[in-house]
């Protein structure tokens, strides 16, 4: 039975009371019911007062579903804002309003704000919902028209011959649109509900930086000396870089050209405006401020918003100086087919409100979040669709208690799907906020790095039963304490990034106590440096329980960058290289005062040697002891199953006495690898190995066997098809391995999600 819908306990069978026969007992019960039921009926709360909204309604009407026979001009309201005002008046009078919205498009240019005065109660939440599953679209953009063939000879001369007869132009300023924004958060164009690509070069894929010239006395960024590339600190630059080829020679106007790139690291992208391009020397000068990490030869980028590159159906380009938008429509344009995103504040904001539910609505086409919940308690977004939102986060749950999003579809959005924040890290008080049973895919379309399907921060929040896939970066980014991440299916990630995790955290010793269990993480391969780790506890993620997960066909299964006291137990690993990697961060100064990540200061800020931290995490007060400072001590890798790849990867300064590796079943041919410890003149993403040990290495096999590990094939039913069942004869059952409830993983059917399809 799914944990979202627990079975009711079976009633226990009790003997009949002594001295009372069954007929007598029935008479007594019926007599009592005859007295109780009428009083219950009298005390029953009245049904909610329902108000209706329809696209063809009027705010001068009563808000009824339809006009009574005696009235010719009455019916639903026209706007959600008016329905809100009426609902609030009824709440203040002690009534229980609800709002039902009929099918249609409702365009917003300002936020629908609900606060404490709009709250319901535990027994009577205020519900805003679509009427009988009709399609209700809440739109934060404007439909535009006025498209005409391009007649300006100068513009036609800049277009390709194929584009000249297809590209149309419209005057946005003539339609009252003057707020264009700048990448990455700017006006975007949607055609028949789909985001259209900005004209770019190349149309697909990336260019690479040919060289980064350095001008003596004009070094704008000295670079990162920890990692040397091409003999220099990575990212060092003088405000320019070189490109290959002659394509920019054809670009007549450079004023609105932008670039998007992974300028130094494959885990950090950023948009940069072009200040100028010197086509004679093949040099690009990005407009300050420059990328924080600088620029590096060989790194990826592309140009966008280039009129001459408007060469394919669907592409568009914006001339911000003249307010003209050029568009090559994929098909004929009908009324309302072209929309541009406009709103820069949340479409709906619940600010200090409680017990409000938003159900079954579609939110789309905005530069800001679709919905934000700030504070309050027991609010829920359920069964909604959120799409074509351009902001860094589409749905925000910021604080409060027991606020969440459930059974929603979030797709084709510019940044993170859902942000869940809540709880008090000073007192370690849980919030109980959540993201449950959501399908999140094709996110991070504009802002890629550090924009996952779900971001979670705080204390005691839950991410459960979500399906997250098809994205450029990670699925789940989390920070804080005592979270629960369970029953999620994560796959097809890291399209454009490396050194990234399916589930990812790091940066603070004190952020611990999270449980990651029963997740299925599969078929993920990062394209950049470092690949993708299924579960990645970056420096210095600690004291986390990783239990009962299935990690298959992922570059690296579980990876710890130093950290301490993590538990990897009862997991299944298939075709990971390695299944478990434990790494020593080679810069001890990070753990001392003034270190780059402020690890020392963060611990002292939360008074880590005093309650509640010292009592809740009794090992934490010793993390800054001089003995073993920064070393990955205390990790336990027990009762796991691994085959099809490499089992264990340790830094070369480690050995099997420093990590508990017991009672695992290992079918991998490569059972233990020691990674070479890299130094400041060594590239961490192209590291070598000090030693590699296969199953033929009798000394290593003996050491593993002494710890209860069994080197044998676990006997998966059909791992190539994702079937990791093991029969009764599998050696795994001898080690204490427990069955993983795979039938509970992923999306479930509930009252808000009536069916599941891939």
Domain boundaries, the chain: 142-199+310-339, 207-304, 495-586+631-745
* Residue 687: per-residue pLDDT: 58
Confidence of residue 530 (pLDDT cuts 50, 70, 90): confident
- Beta carbons within 8 Å of 151's beta carbon, 6+ residues apart: none
Q: Averaged over 156-161, what is the pLDDT?
A: 97
634-673 exposure pattern, b = at least 16 Cβ within 10 A, e = fewer: bbebbbbbbbbbbbbbbbbebebebbebbbbbbbbebbbb
Mean pLDDT across 271-294: 98
Q: What is the pLDDT of residue 10?
A: 30
Of 339-343, 604-608, 655-659, 745-749, the range with the lowest mean pLDDT is 655-659
**Per-residue confidence (pLDDT) for residue 73, from 0 to 100:** 85
Q: What is the mean pLDDT of residues 202-215?
A: 97
Residue 36 pLDDT > 50 = no
Q: Are 528 and 267 in contact (CB under 8 A)?
A: yes
Q: What pLDDT band is residue 15 in, cutting at 50, 70 and 90? A: very low
Task: State pLDDT tens for residues 77-121.
Answer: 999 999 999 999 999 999 999 999 999 999 999 999 999 999 999
pLDDT for residue 199: 98
Closest CA to 450 of 516, 405, 494, 492: 494
Residue ranges of the alpha helices (H) in 568-722?
Answer: 599-605, 613-616, 698-706
How does residue 679 score in pLDDT terms, banded at 50, 70 and 90?
low
Mean pLDDT of 545-557: 98
Pair 166, 117: CB distance under 8 Å:
no
pLDDT category, 455, cuts 50, 70, 90? Answer: very high
Q: Of 163-167, 203-207, 360-364, 674-678, which gets the smallest average pLDDT? A: 674-678
Tally of residues, the chain: 758
pLDDT of residue 685: 55
List, for residues 285-313, the tens digit of each pLDDT value: 999 999 999 999 999 999 999 999 999 99
Share of the chain above pLDDT 90, in %: 86
Q: What is the H or E stretch that residue 39 is in? A: helix 22-43
**Cα→Cα distances 665→146, 570, 670, 714, Å:** 67, 10, 13, 7
Distance CA(746)–CA(756), nearest Å, equals: 10
- List pLDDT tens digits, range 341-400: 999 999 999 999 999 999 999 999 999 999 999 999 999 999 999 999 999 999 999 999
> What DSSP element (H or E) covers 226?
strand 224-229
CA distance 415 to 451: 5
Instruction: Indicate if the pLDDT at residue 682 is higher than 80.
Output: no
Instruction: Tell me what pLDDT residue 63 has.
Output: 97
pLDDT on residue 618: 97
Structure tokens at 154: 């100068």
pLDDT-based confidence at residue 401 (cuts at 50, 70, 90) = very high
**pLDDT over 90 (residue 443):** yes
Segment 547-552 mean pLDDT: 98
Q: What is the mean pLDDT of the chain?
A: 92
The predicted pLDDT at position 626 comes to 82
pTM: 0.92
**Residue 66 — pLDDT band, cuts 50, 70, 90?**
confident
Neighbours of 19 (CB within 10 A): 6
Q: What are the backbone angles phi and psi of residue 603, rounded to the nearest 5°? A: -65, -45
pLDDT band at 756 (very low <50, low <70, confident <90, very high): confident
Q: What is the pLDDT of residue 227?
A: 87
DSSP 8-state secondary structure symbol assigned to residue 640: -
Inform me whether the pLDDT recorded for 680 exceeds 70.
no
- Average pLDDT value for residue range 7-19: 32
CA atoms lying within 13 Å on the CB side of residue 559: 29
Average pLDDT of the residues in 52-56: 97
Residue with tokens 């079918």: 667
Q: What is the pLDDT of residue 757?
A: 73
- Quick one: which of 681, 684, 414 has its CA closest to 531? 684
CB 257 within 8 Å of CB 303? yes
Residues 156-182 have a mean pLDDT of 97
Range 26-38 average pLDDT: 43
Q: Distances from the Cα of 656 to the Cαs of 336, 705, 706, in angstroms?
A: 66, 12, 11
Cα-Cα-Cα-Cα torsion 705, 706, 709, 713, nearest 10 degrees, comes to 10
Residue 68 banded pLDDT, cuts 50, 70, 90: low
Of 220-224, 397-401, 425-429, 622-626, which range is least confident? 622-626
Each residue's pLDDT tens digit, 574-626:
999 999 999 999 889 999 999 999 999 999 999 999 999 999 999 999 999 98
| pLDDT value of residue 627 | 82
Q: How confident is the model at residue 141 (pLDDT cuts 50, 70, 90)?
A: very high
For 177-185, what is the mean pLDDT? 95
Task: Check pLDDT > 80 for residue 495.
Answer: yes
Q: How far apart, in whole angstroms, are the C-alpha atoms of residue 629 and residue 590?
A: 10
What is the C-alpha separation between 165 and 198, in angstroms, rounded? 19
Separation CA 338–CA 390 (nearest Å) = 16
Count of CB atoms within 10 A of residue 381's CB? 29
DSSP string, 362-413: EEEEESS-SEEEES-BS-EEES-EEEEE-SSEEEEEESSBS-EEES-EEES-
pLDDT at 326: 98
Residue pair 347/112 in contact by the 8 Å Cβ criterion: yes
Q: 452 is written with which tokens?
A: 């996952």
pLDDT at 528: 79
Backbone angles phi, psi at 498, to 5 degrees: -135, 170
User: Strand 362-366 vs strand 136-139: parallel, antiparallel, or unpaired?
Assistant: parallel
443 burial (CB, 10 Å; 0-12 / 13-18 / 19+) is: buried
């Amino acid at each position: 039975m799914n944990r979202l819908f627990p079975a009711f306990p079976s009633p226990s069978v009790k003997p009949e009371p002594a001295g009372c026969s069954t007929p007598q007992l029935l008479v007594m019960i019926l007599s009592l019911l005859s007295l109780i039921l009428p009083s219950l009926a009298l005390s029953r709360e009245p049904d909610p007062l329902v108000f209706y909204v329809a696209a063809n309604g009027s705010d001068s009407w009563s808000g009824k579903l339809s006009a009574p026979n005696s009235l010719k001009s009455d019916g639903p309201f026209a706007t959600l804002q008016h329905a809100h005002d009426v609902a609030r008046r009824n709440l203040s009078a002690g009534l229980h309003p609800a709002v039902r919205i009929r099918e249609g498009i409702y365009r917003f240019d300002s936020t629908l704000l609900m606060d404490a005065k709009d709250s319901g109660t535990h027994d009577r939440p205020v519900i805003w919902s679509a009427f009988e599953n009709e399609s209700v679209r809440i739109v934060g953009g404007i439909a535009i028209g006025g498209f005409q063939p391009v007649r300006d000879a100068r513009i036609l001369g800049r277009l390709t011959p194929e584009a000249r007869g297809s590209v149309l132009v419209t005057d946005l300023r003539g339609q009252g649109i003057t707020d264009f924004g700048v990448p990455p958060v700017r006006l975007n164009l949607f055609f028949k509900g789909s985001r259209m690509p900005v004209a770019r070069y190349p149309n697909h894929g990336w260019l690479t930086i040919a060289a980064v010239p350095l001008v003596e006395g004009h070094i704008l960024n000295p670079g990162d000396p920890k990692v040397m590339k091409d003999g220099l600190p990575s990212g060092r630059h003088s405000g320019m870089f070189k490109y290959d080829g002659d394509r920019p020679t054809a670009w007549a106007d450079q004023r609105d050209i932008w670039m998007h790139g992974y300028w130094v690291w494959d885990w950090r992208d950023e948009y940069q405006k072009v200040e100028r391009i010197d086509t004679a020397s093949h040099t690009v000068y990005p407009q300050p401020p420059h990328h924080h990490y600088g620029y590096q030869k060989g790194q990826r980028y592309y140009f966008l918003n280039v009129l001459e590159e408007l060469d394919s159906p669907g592409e568009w380009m914006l001339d911000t100086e003249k307010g003209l938008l050029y568009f090559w429509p994929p098909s004929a344009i009908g009324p309302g087919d072209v929309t541009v995103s406009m709103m820069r504040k949340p479409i709906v904001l619940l600010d200090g409100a409680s017990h409000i539910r938003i159900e079954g609505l579609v939110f789309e086409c905005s530069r800001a979040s679709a919905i934000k919940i700030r504070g309050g308690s027991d609010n829920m977004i359920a069964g909604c669709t959120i799409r074509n939102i351009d902001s860094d986060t589409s749905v925000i749950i910021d604080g409060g208690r027991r606020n969440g999003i459930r059974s929603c579809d979030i797709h084709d959005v510019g940044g993170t799907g859902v942000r869940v924040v809540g709880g008090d890290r000073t007192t370690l008080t849980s919030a109980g906020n959540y993201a449950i049973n959501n399908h999140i895919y094709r996110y991070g379309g504009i802002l890629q790095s550090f924009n996952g399907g779900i971001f979670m921060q705080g204390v005691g929040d839950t991410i459960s039963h979500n399906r997250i896939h098809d994205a450029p970066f990670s699925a789940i980014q989390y920070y804080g304490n005592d979270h629960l991440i369970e029953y999620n299916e994560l796959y097809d990630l890291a399209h454009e990034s490396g050194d990234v995790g399916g589930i990812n955290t790091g940066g603070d010793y004190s952020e611990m106590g999270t449980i990651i269990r029963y997740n299925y993480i599969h078929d993920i391969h990062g394209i950049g440096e470092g690949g993708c780790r299924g579960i990645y506890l970056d420096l210095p993620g600690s004291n986390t329980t990783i239990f009962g997960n299935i990690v298959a066909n992922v570059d690296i299964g579980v990876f710890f960058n130093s950290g301490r006291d993590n538990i990897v137990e009862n997991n299944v690993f298939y075709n990971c290289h390695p299944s478990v990697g434990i790494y020593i961060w080679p810069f001890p100064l990070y753990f001392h005062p003034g270190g780059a990540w402020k690890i020392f200061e963060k611990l002292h800020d939360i008074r880590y040697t005093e309650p509640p931290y010292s009592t809740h995490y009794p090992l934490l007060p010793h993390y800054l002891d001089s003995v073993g400072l920064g070393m990955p001590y205390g990790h336990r890798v027990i009762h796991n199953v691994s085959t099809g790849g490499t089992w264990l990867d340790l830094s070369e300064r480690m050995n099997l006495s420093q990590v508990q590796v017991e009672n695992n079943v290992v079918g991998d041919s490569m059972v233990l690898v020691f990674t070479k410890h890299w130094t400041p003149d060594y590239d961490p993403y192209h590291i070598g190995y000090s030693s590699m040990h296969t199953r033929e290495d009798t000394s290593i096999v003996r050491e593993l066997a002494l710890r209860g590990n069994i080197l044998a094939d676990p006997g998966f039913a059909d791992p190539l098809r994702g079937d990791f069942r093991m029969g009764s004869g599998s050696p795994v059952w001898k080690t204490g391995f427990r069955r993983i409830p795979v039938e509970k993983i992923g999306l479930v059917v509930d009252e808000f999600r009536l069916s599941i399809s891939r």
